[in-house]
Structure 1
Amino acid sequence: MTFSLKVPLLIAALALALPCVAAPEQPSGLSINQFRLVYPASETKGITWSMTNNTHRAYLMQSWVRPLDLATGLPATEQDDKAPATAIPLLVTPPLKRVDPGEQLQLRIRLTDMTLPQDRESVFYLSVKGIPSVPDKDNQTGGQLVVAVVNNMKLFYRPEGLPPGGVTKASEQLRFSLQGDALVVDNPTPFYLNFSQLKVGGKTLPAADLRKLVPPKGQQRYPVPEGARGEVEWQVIGEDSRVTSVQRKTL
């Protein structure tokens, strides 16, 4: 999946637990510059992320880091996330800010301690919730519905000393096998891998299933259509959100 660099967030849609989906560029909106962030350990002062308010309304923006649910590839819900907020050693500042029309919100994400594994990547979601302001009573025309929109960007913490080549080289090392009605993908590398497309025997796996990441030094299972056999074809999403070249292997 490929994202444009500026994507308007439609106020009419509520997206509390889903990654933002790119839409054609509009003349106004909340414009995001990154949907996938890589935080190299070498950036000792942290990394930044920004968005611009190109609407005619002020927004109250709330930002935080939350866990990823490996079983679904989506942000963990509040019910699923049993760990206290302090268990995530990443801090976002400012956590709450008013952003006026034409203003840019710039966030800084910093590692607060060294509890994350140093032999492989760790993955989280940067969640940013925008609550639009309500016009004063004199300017209201009928009832007013205020809808908060939450957008979730994958955030990868990458320790120093990992092999060169990143996701592109790692995708070449994947191993595939069929076990019953599932395609099992083994990832011997220290990188998280996210498929943009995956086919078995020429049959494309649903995009919803591809939300599940293949963890570093681990495996992931994907259901396959009945009778799907033969060649595996895949592409993964790179660090810059572009897809890698098509690769193929025979099962």
Structure 2
Amino acid sequence: MSTASRSGYRRLFPLLFMVIAFYSQAGGIMLDSTRIIYAQDAKQRNISIRNTSTDTTFLVQAWIEDAAGRRSSDFIATPPLFTSGPGNENILRLMFTGQQLPRDRETLYYFNVKGVPSVNKKALEGHNALIIAAVTRIKLFVRPAGLTPSPQVAAQQLQFRRNGNNSVIIENASPYFITLTNFKAGNAALDSVMVPSRGQITVALPRDAGNNLTFSTIDDFGAVSPPRPARFN
């Protein structure tokens, strides 16, 4: 290794140590749920945001994206920008202000929260530091009233259909978005997937997967169901 390379590593190690030390002590911004169910006729929905740090203040920004990941003006998040002190719990209000959505199925959005940690300039004086803003992104489902069947029953009614030797089509006739996790083909683990409401997706499979597929689903509260076998039609 050259002298210049050794010198670069000597400068890099203290910087990485400072970053690691900062995040091991700082805690962060946490949400009270892993997904949001927004009743379509509701005037608003409150979201709890907590600062788990004991010594760091965060500048917190919130925004909503549509299903394609584009910033959406269909929701207002109030306040959209605020500071959260150590150990604070803040309540953010979500209000739907967009056009009328379908009433026979859920509509998908994404709720985003970014926490930027404050910097102790005096403590960092004379040092290099890398401060990283962390973004939490969770699913936001707008759900009309009166949908049938229940979400629990809907997950049991998913249909699977082989598409050649290397993929399977998953069909969801229900009005809910259904997330499959702990997805396996035999003993081979597959990526988690989300099947759209009244829609379908195609998932690649190992060549020798056969029809031995099992999966779990995630409910409204983020709990994971026991594994169940796929129903092939």
Helix, strand or coil for the counterpart of 2:178? Answer: coil
Instruction: Evaluate the alpha carbon distance shift between residue 134 and residue 128 of structure 1 in structure 2; reply closer, same or farther with a 3 A threshold.
Output: same
Deviation string, structure 1 residues 18-51 (Cα, Å, up to 9, x no partner): xxxxxxxx99443332111111225x23111112
Q: Partners in 2 of 1:164 and 1:222 — Cα distance?
A: 25
CA positional deviation for 1:206: 2.5
Note if contact 1:60-1:132 (Cα within 8 Å) is conserved in structure 2.
yes
How do 1:172-251 and structure 2 match up within 5 A? 172-180=156-164, 181-200=166-185, 202-207=186-191, 210=192, 212-249=193-230, 251=232
Instruction: Evaluate the alpha carbon distance shift between residue 249 and residue 52 of structure 1 in structure 2; reply closer, same or farther with a 3 A threshold.
Output: closer
Note the aligned Cα RMSD (angstroms).
2.3
Which amino acid in structure 1 is aligned with residue 154 of structure 2? A
Q: Partners in 2 of 1:250 and 1:171 — Cα distance?
A: 11
- Which protein has the bigger helix share? 2
CA positional deviation for 1:124: 1.1
Residue 115 in structure 1 maps to residue 100 in structure 2: yes
How do 1:1-251 and structure 2 match up within 5 A? 28-42=27-41, 44-55=42-53, 56-69=55-68, 76=69, 81=70, 85-86=72-73, 89-136=74-121, 138-140=122-124, 142-166=127-151, 168-180=152-164, 181-200=166-185, 202-207=186-191, 210=192, 212-249=193-230, 251=232
Helix, strand or coil for the counterpart of 2:194? Answer: coil
Helix, strand or coil for the counterpart of 2:153? Answer: helix
CA positional deviation for 1:144: 2.5
Query: Alignment identity in percent?
Result: 28
TM-score normalized by the length of structure 1: 0.75
Helix, strand or coil for the counterpart of 2:183? Answer: strand
Please name the residue that 1:21 is paired with. none
Helix, strand or coil for the counterpart of 1:85? Answer: coil
Deviation string, structure 1 residues 132-189 (Cα, Å, up to 9, x no partner): 11113x33252222111111011111011201522x1111111101102111000000
TM-score normalized by the length of structure 2: 0.81
Structure number, greater radius of gyration: 2
User: Which runs of no fewer than 5 residues in structure 1 stay unpaired?
Assistant: 1-10, 14-25, 70-75
Note if contact 1:203-1:225 (Cα within 8 Å) is conserved in structure 2.
no
Q: Partners in 2 of 1:116 and 1:250 — Cα distance?
A: 31
Which amino acid in structure 1 is aligned with residue 33 of structure 2? Q
User: Which runs of no fewer than 5 residues in structure 2 stay unpaired?
Assistant: 1-17
Which amino acid in structure 2 is aligned with residue 49 of structure 1? I
Note if contact 2:182-2:189 (Cα within 8 Å) is conserved in structure 1.
yes
Q: Which one has more relative contact order, counting CA pairs under 8 Å at least 6 apart?
A: 1
